[in-house]
Amino acid sequence: MSEQPWVLVIDDDESLRAALVLLLRSAGIQARGFGSAEEFLGRPDGPDPTCAVLDVHLGTGLTGYELKEQLESEGRALPIVFTTAHSELPIRMSRDADAMANCLRKPFGKDELLTRVRRFLGAILITAMVATSAAPVGALGWSRGLPVSRGASKNSPAFAGFGTKA
């Protein structure tokens, strides 16, 4: 039996990382958090994540965008939602239309993040279903092209204002 798809969360702010992982899990999405790109790369072998939420600026070591480039060069590219509190982005990233379109400025709303992650997961699921001729989309409990959340209410104020530093 294969492992359930999961979302990678990398942020050097431990409290924000923990909150993001909790948010994703409360929405029924498996998630694992790491404090740096190097910590993720050094994890024991296992299935790669299905998509990622990466802070652009991770303190020391690789940036979130450099991790994206490394994974691509290894043939392990995945959809990424970038997050940043900085006004300046790496030059290479600013020339990458996909990266810029999927970059959230902190603070960002929980619904905005969940919508993007669900969109990525839904596109991957549809691709897999088409490839294997699995169940029709309507049988999966989808709404407006996005999987219906089985977790916390999307109107819950518990995760509003992500990325704010107290």
Along the 166 residues of the chain, how does pLDDT read in single tens digits? 357 889 999 999 999 999 999 999 999 999 999 999 999 999 988 899 999 999 999 988 999 999 999 999 999 999 999 999 998 888 899 899 999 999 999 999 999 999 999 999 887 767 666 666 555 555 444 444 444 434 433 343 334 455 554 4
> What per-residue confidence (pLDDT) applies to 124?
73
Distances (CA, A) of 36 to 14, 57, 65, 108, 139: 10, 10, 12, 21, 38
CB 32 within 8 A of CB 57: no
Q: How many CA atoms lie within 13 A of 92 on its CB side?
A: 8
Q: pTM here? A: 0.76
Contact 133, 82 (CB under 8 A): no
pLDDT reported for residue 135: 52
pLDDT of 125? 67
In this predicted structure, what is the pLDDT of residue 128?
Answer: 64
**CATH, domain range 7-152:** 3.40.50.2300
Scanning the structure block, which residue is given the tokens 């909150």? 19
Give tens-digit pLDDT for 122-142. 877 676 666 665 555 554 444
Nearest Cα neighbor of 61 from 89, 44, 41, 36 is 36
Predicted local confidence at residue 163, as pLDDT:
53
